[in-house]
């Protein structure tokens, strides 16, 4: 059944499927949820192929980005599956983390722990500068970053460029408490390529840019490359800030090392790395690269634009802050010794 946004929901149970090479089907298991081969492809029957074949009824996130390990969630029901112009999209109801959004077999958010990511990637940069007015979000089609940006009363304009319209529509249908960010009148939604969008932006347009990207494979790959960061720096005002998703210190230090190196060459203000815990992300943590352009100095470790309980119900934010506070802001920049050594070495 399709709604007005063109999103088709799948509400039935998913039949058990043998590994693809066998080419036959089994009956539903006792949970009414399938186990199929682990893959980022969708077959002609439109069954999601990234459900674990190891334990029936469980989703397992397997990727070359984290070889030799997988995080699994028990699936109650598949709610949606589709293939956009760019990627496979799935939503399922989990037993313990609520509804889950999956892109190309990789968990993007769950209802239970999305607050840790959305609040930190937004408030780490916006609470580090005074009076931000114009904010750009690259990616973030689920609307969660928009929801958090809308807490800041100084912000007058929120632009978002998301490449995949299906992600926006699916999020509005299945994650209304996240996608509520799209309802803010300050938000201007642009469906298109974030790299091209930034190139067309006038120099010095934004006070802050938040890059809410998926991993550096597929449609998000360009968002981790040096030319993109150069475009970001050009689009920021003097003393403007950027915060970008920057992978896991447990799994991707080689990627983080490259990001830090590129950013130290491009951004002449501050360059810092922060991290937070998100249980359903690979290794349970995710990092953020925070940079500022040359101009008024920015000390990311000490917030100057606090957001507190009085701001919690402002504008379209339907709920209080669940994760972010000023103490955890400063603590996010404290790195374990192995990561600190690598990141600090790039400052030399």
* Mean pLDDT per 10-residue segment, the chain (348 residues): 49 32 29 34 46 74 86 94 94 97 94 98 98 97 97 97 97 98 98 93 97 66 78 97 94 90 93 97 95 96 81 56 96 97 81
Please tell me the predicted confidence (pLDDT) of residue 215.
60
Please tell me the predicted confidence (pLDDT) of residue 20.
27
Determine the Cα–Cα distance for residues 339 and 14; give it in Å rounded to an integer: 42
Of the chain, the end-to-end C-alpha distance in Å amounts to 57
Structure tokens at 19: 């590994």
Please tell me the predicted confidence (pLDDT) of residue 56.
80
E-state strands within 194-235: 206-212
**Residues 49, 159, 212, 215: which is the catalytic one?**
212
Residue 334 has phi, psi (to 5 degrees) of: -85, 115
pTM: 0.84
Please tell me the predicted confidence (pLDDT) of residue 22.
28
- Backbone angle region of 98, left / alpha / beta, with phi > 0 → left and psi within -120 to 50 → alpha: left
- Backbone angle region of 139, left / alpha / beta, with phi > 0 → left and psi within -120 to 50 → alpha: left
What are the residues facing 74 on neighbouring strands?
A: 58
Of all helices (H) and strands (E), which one includes residue 90? strand 88-94
Bridge-based pairing of strands 236-245 and 206-212 is parallel
Structure tokens at 333: 């920049």
207 in catalytic set: no
């Amino acid at each position: 059944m399709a709604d007005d946004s063109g999103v088709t929901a799948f509400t039935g149970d998913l039949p058990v499927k043998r590994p693809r090479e066998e080419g036959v089907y089994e009956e539903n298991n006792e949970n009414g949820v399938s186990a199929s081969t682990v893959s980022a492809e969708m077959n002609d029957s439109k069954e999601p192929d990234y459900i674990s074949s190891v334990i029936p009824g469980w989703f397992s996130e397997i990727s070359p980005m984290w070889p030799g390990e997988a995080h699994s969630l028990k699936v109650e029901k598949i709610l949606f599956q589709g293939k956009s112009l760019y990627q496979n999209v799935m939503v399922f109801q989990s037993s313990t983390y609520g509804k889950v959004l999956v892109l190309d077999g990789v968990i993007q958010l769950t209802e239970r722990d999305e607050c840790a990511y959305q609040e930190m990637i937004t408030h780490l940069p916006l609470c580090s500068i005074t009076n931000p007015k114009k904010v750009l979000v690259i990616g973030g089609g689920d609307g969660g970053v928009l929801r958090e940006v809308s807490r800041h009363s100084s912000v007058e304009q929120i632009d978002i460029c998301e490449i995949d319209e299906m992600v926006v529509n699916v999020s509005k249908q299945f994650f209304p408490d996240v996608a509520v960010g799209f309802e803010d009148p300050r938000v201007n939604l642009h469906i298109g390529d974030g790299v091209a969008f930034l190139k067309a932006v006038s120099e010095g347009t934004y006070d802050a840019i938040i890059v809410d990207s998926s991993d550096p494979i597929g449609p998000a790959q360009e968002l981790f490359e040096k030319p993109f960061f150069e475009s970001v720096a050009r689009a920021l005002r003097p003393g403007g800030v950027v915060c970008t998703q920057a992978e896991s210190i447990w799994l991707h230090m080689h990627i983080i090392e490259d990001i830090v190196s590129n950013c130290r060459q491009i951004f002449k203000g501050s360059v810092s790395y922060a991290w937070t815990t998100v249980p359903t992300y690979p290794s349970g943590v995710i990092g953020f690269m925070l940079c500022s352009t040359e101009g008024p100095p920015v000390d990311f470790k000490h917030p100057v634009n606090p957001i507190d309980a009085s701001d919690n119900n402002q504008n379209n934010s339907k709920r209080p802050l669940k994760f972010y506070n000023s103490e955890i802001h400063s603590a996010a920049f404290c790195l374990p010794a192995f990561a600190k050594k690598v990141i600090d070495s790039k400052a030399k």
